[in-house]
Amino acid sequence: MIARTLTPLFVLFGLIATGCSPLGLQIRLGPTKDPMVATGVLDVGEGSGKPSDRVALIVVRGLITDTPTTGFLGSSNAPLDDLTHQLRLAERDDKVRAVILRIDSPGGTVAGSETAYREVRDFAERTGKPVVASMGEIATSGGYYLALAADHIVAEPATLTGSIGVVIPSLNFSEGLGRLGIQSHFITSGPNKDLANPLAPVREGHYDILGGIVREYYASFLSLTLRRRPSLSPDAVTSATDGRVMTGDTAAAIGLVDSVGGVREAARQAMELAKIDRATVIRYGSRANAPRTAYTLADPPRPLAFESDQSINLLRFDGLSAGALGLRPGVGYYLWLP
């Protein structure tokens, strides 16, 4: 954390502006390192008094990757790091009887999405605590892949989900560079060592190799979907898995998700699976940014970016995160690109 407290100046300003009331202002640049605390955001069930049981609400937002995100105000933890850390907190808390994954993500890298899935399944199998996925505005591709780890999936009626498939971004600048009189030469140990080199002329054999990788990734995604969603209508398998997106209502009608509803409905489902009648839904967050409701971000949104020698911004997801989403050419993504 990069922190700067401008105490004397702002206390003086506060005294001038408010008369005798001191005003303190603290500016933090980058993520805080405050330990996460559990905050109750919702009580579910009948009866009076504070419920003794808890349901942990873990938010997975933005691109699912093991890469830390960076932006103007500094860097933040990798989404996978936040997810696994909060799962560990939920595992250690004996009062936590179930977990809700609140997913608001267009997807992520293939490796990141698969790792997140395994972490959630390992948690559920190791602890016996049920996991319910609650989809927010968007839970597509890798976001849906992660939802498959849950024991029950709840989507908002207007959620956009689906987009089951794979994309490997590839750019080629050789023709444009040639027009500028620029030529590139790569000395390689084999014909495929510079696979899909963006500075060399397009070679279809290279894209055949990448296409084979895409088909392998897709076969794995499809197999997992069919295994984890036995209720998926046989008549809808082809259309549901061809990469299209759909609303939560449609996904529920064909069996891609189990039911339609919000956080409250997901909490009730989690309680039913955990065999408890009342519970407090808790959120994990730093003391400086403690959540107030089930819909509050645990931390302020930060720009999403990928670090590389050369950064190319392809796309913005302003509705999903504060900043630009960059993709690394050659990396496989379970990701919806609208």
Among this protein's residues, is 193 annotated catalytic?
Answer: yes
Selected catalytic residue, list 193, 239, 308, 311: 193
Torsion over CA: 59, 63, 66, 68 (sign): negative
pLDDT value, residue 296 = 59
CA 95 – CA 86 distance, rounded (Å): 14
- Full pLDDT tens readout for the chain, 338 residues: 444 444 444 444 444 444 444 444 445 555 555 567 878 778 888 766 678 899 999 999 999 998 776 554 445 678 899 999 999 999 999 999 999 999 999 999 999 999 999 999 999 999 999 999 999 999 999 999 999 999 999 999 999 999 999 998 877 787 787 788 888 777 878 888 878 777 778 888 888 898 999 999 999 999 999 999 999 999 999 999 999 999 999 999 999 999 999 999 999 999 999 999 999 999 987 665 665 555 555 444 333 333 333 333 333 333 333 334 567 766 788 888 77
Residue pair 298/284 in contact (Cβ under 8 Å)? The answer is yes
Q: How many residues does the chain have?
A: 338
Residue pair 156/249 in contact (Cβ under 8 Å)? The answer is no
Selected catalytic residue, list 113, 141, 163, 321: 141
CA 48 – CA 105 distance, rounded (Å): 36
Among this protein's residues, is 141 annotated catalytic?
Answer: yes
pLDDT value, residue 95 = 95
CB neighbours of 170 closer than 8 A, spacing ≥ 6?
196, 198, 207, 210, 329, 330
CA 14 – CA 221 distance, rounded (Å): 57
Domain boundaries, the chain: 1-30, 31-168+236-335
CB neighbours of 178 closer than 8 A, spacing ≥ 6?
none
CATH number of this structure's domain 31-168+236-335, picked from the four choices 3.30.499.10, 3.40.228.10, 3.90.226.10, 3.50.4.10: 3.90.226.10
Exposure string for 91-108, b = 16+ CB within 10 A, e = fewer: eeeeebbbbbbbbbbbbb
Q: How far is CA 143 from CA 206, 253, 299, in A?
A: 29, 19, 20
Residue from 9, 24, 108, 121 nearest 64 by CA: 108
Provide the total of helices (H) and of strands (E) in the chain, helices listed first: 9, 17
